[in-house]
Amino acid sequence: MKKTFVFFKLFLVFLIILYQENFSQTNSSGIVINEVLANEPKSYTKLEWVELYNLNSYDFDLGGFKFVSKSDTTEFPSGTIIPGKGYLVLARKLVTSPPDSVSFEGFWGDNTGVWGDSEIEDFLTVEIKLSLTNSTGVVTLIDPENNTCSFTWNKDCGDGISWEKIYPDSGDGLDNWTACIYDIGSTPGRLNSVTPAENDLSIKSDDLFISPENPKEDQLFRLNALVRNVGTQRSEANTITFYSDYNFDGELTTDEMISLPQDIFPLAPEDSLLFFSDLMFSKGSYRFYAEIGEDDKVYNNLAFINVKISGEIPEVVINEFLPNPQSDGAEWVELFNRTDSSIFIKNWLLGDSIKQDIITEDEFLIEPYNYLIITEDLNKFQFCFPQTECSIIEQKGWSTLNNTGDKIILKDSLGFIMDQVSYTKSWDNGVSWERVDYDKSSDDEDNWWRCVYGEGATPCNKNSISLKYTDDVNLAISPDPFSPDGDGFEDSAIFDYSIPLKSEISIKIYDVKGRLVKTLVEEQPLASGTIFWDGKDDKNRKVRAGIYVVFVEVQGEKKSFLKTTVVVAKK
């Protein structure tokens, strides 16, 4: 019995100590430090702030409380009221006053220069002297009886990302604090993103997607939204509504609704449900929203996606690219403006399926029906192609093009995909992929083939495979007969040919006994062209007068042959 009593006393002491520890951390007032933004967005130090939270269910007057950060101390006057279960943000710069250009109200409010004049400015704010350090620091709240609560951080959460308290009514140890997980980086005046809520449905921009991925004008496509229950309890019945924000102002109105509200039936914790709306829009750029009705965390109930509804062919297309340059060369991509209007490409992006980088931050435009080369190395490109006359840009962030196949993606300044093309391999070193027809889709595999020009590529010039080609093998020889006697008249035979695209041609000359005399061309990917025969054999000896057999072999999707004759005459 005595041992039991001693154990009970020790346990009671433990509870008292634990209570006193938590009591001292939250202090007797129930006012706690709840969120700290030490690393302000975009290096604007005036955007630093600290959020206080009232654990009580009643309003509380902070008169006589002191807030300390570094050497700055602010004492709140009587009448500084923080509502029950409400927030008070202590801002370094509350509203903008010229020449200041940034403020808390401008960044987290509606930027009118007045706090509290809109629905999003529905919590209290006070401007105080404040100075926070990104990587380490401490802030302290002291009540009139000198009871304190404080938060000490020891690392940088990242640009614009706040420290959030997980459980507001628990201690201020670092294990009860973590980085904000909300996509804009902080939650001033709102339930912390890391604080569990009972009834909490969520949707993120990553949960919005379009199928098919690149819808065309006046064609049906589907806007999909995945709703998740991230709360601790079974969610309450709710709704989801889709909008098209036609004017890109972020204000969703009833005339911008593109679907009636759809019912979200209660979901168990961690469950999700897919919703969709089938749509058809004309060509243009759109911002589609999905909005969930009100629950315990309203700020994760809204997400948007930017969508480009394009014509069958974009205005600027990927026209040629070289993924496998010579050892002294550089990778490059050629763009072509297929319209009669100049097109600005400032802040457009180019890259592969993993990453796209800005092409240029300058006010750059592509003239009508003109080319632009984007390369990883300007000097190497110009060394290999010194005669190019169109504009060339060396991209600072270049996504290496894989030789075994890759995807090239071109996006505009809003992140909309303008054009993209996939390839399955690279050709020989220095041989480019060329677009056959810029009025046909990039997705059409038959619209791409290797350069058939002898130099291996045609930067800033008309693509070699846009020359004449046919569905059959055609060969015309003139003059026939010809007399290679050196008198300057009909000394050579002219072989004009055209073959199917994506084929290789061999032309060989045989004598009447079937012996090979001359190989004019062998397994060359030439769509059309002209070849001359000067009447000499492969050893550069003049052949005898007589009839010779011309044999043409074409290998592509199918193998084709053509046989004819040519006569070598005497003078």
CATH number at residue 287: 2.60.40.10
158 and 294 belong to one structural domain = no
CA distance 443 to 310: 14
432: Cα within 13 Å, side-chain hemisphere: 28
Residue 193 resides in a domain: no
Separation between Cα atoms, residue 281 and residue 277, nearest integer Å: 13
Is the residue at 194 inside a domain? no
Average pLDDT, the chain: 89
Tell whether 8 and 153 lie within a shared domain. Answer: yes
**Token pair 């102002």: residue:** 249
Domain membership flag for residue 188: no
CATH number at residue 449: 2.60.40.1260
Q: How confident is the model at residue 302 (pLDDT cuts 50, 70, 90)?
A: very high
> Domain limits at 251?
201-309
**Who wins on pLDDT, 136 or 99?**
136
- In this prediction, residue 299 has a pLDDT band, given cuts at 50, 70 and 90, of confident
Looking at the structure, tell me whether residues 462 and 500 fall in a common domain. no
In a domain? residue 69: yes
What is the C-alpha separation between 486 and 148, in angstroms, rounded?
107
Asked whether residue 31 falls in the same domain as residue 137, the answer is yes
Q: What's the pLDDT score for residue 23? A: 38
Same domain, 399 and 514: no
431, 451 contact by CB (below 8 A): yes
Rounded to an integer, the average pLDDT of 329-340 is 94
Q: Among 258, 284, 309, where does a domain finish?
A: 309
> pLDDT tier at 527 (50, 70, 90 boundaries)?
low
Do 559 and 532 belong together in one domain?
A: yes
Query: Residue 21: what pLDDT?
Result: 39
> For residue 15, is pLDDT > 70?
no
Same domain, residue pair 324 and 300: no
State the pLDDT at residue 470.
63
In a domain, 376, yes or no: yes
What average pLDDT score do residues 250-272 get? Answer: 95
Work out the average pLDDT over 194-200: 96
Tell me, yes or no, whether 303 and 322 share the same domain.
no
Is 247 within the bounds of a domain? yes
**Domain count of the chain?**
4
Does the global pTM surpass 0.85? no
pLDDT for residue 76 is more than 70 = yes
The verdict on 140 and 253 lying in the same domain is no
DSSP 299: G
**For position 42, what pLDDT does the model report?**
83
CA distance 205 to 209: 8
Both 536 and 441 in a single domain?
A: no
Q: What is the mean pLDDT of residues 212-237?
A: 93
Q: Which residue has the higher pLDDT, 496 or 115?
A: 115
Contacts (Cβ under 8 Å, ≥6 apart) of 481: 566, 567, 568, 569
Of 274, 309, 344, which residue constitutes the final position of a domain? 309
Of 309, 325, 344, the residue at which a domain comes to its end is 309
pLDDT at residue 101 in the model: 75
Q: Which helix (H) or strand (E) holds 466?
A: none
Q: What is the pLDDT of residue 86?
A: 96
In-domain check, residue 549: yes
Pair 550, 516 in one domain: yes
Using alpha carbons, list the distances in angstroms from residue 66 to 91, 244, 562: 15, 47, 97
Residue 340 lies in a domain: yes
Distance, in Å, from the CA atom of 474 to the CA atom of 497, rounded to the nearest integer, reads 5
pLDDT tens across 490-522, in order? 889 999 888 887 788 899 999 988 899 999 988
**Helical (H) or strand (E) element with 548:** strand 546-555
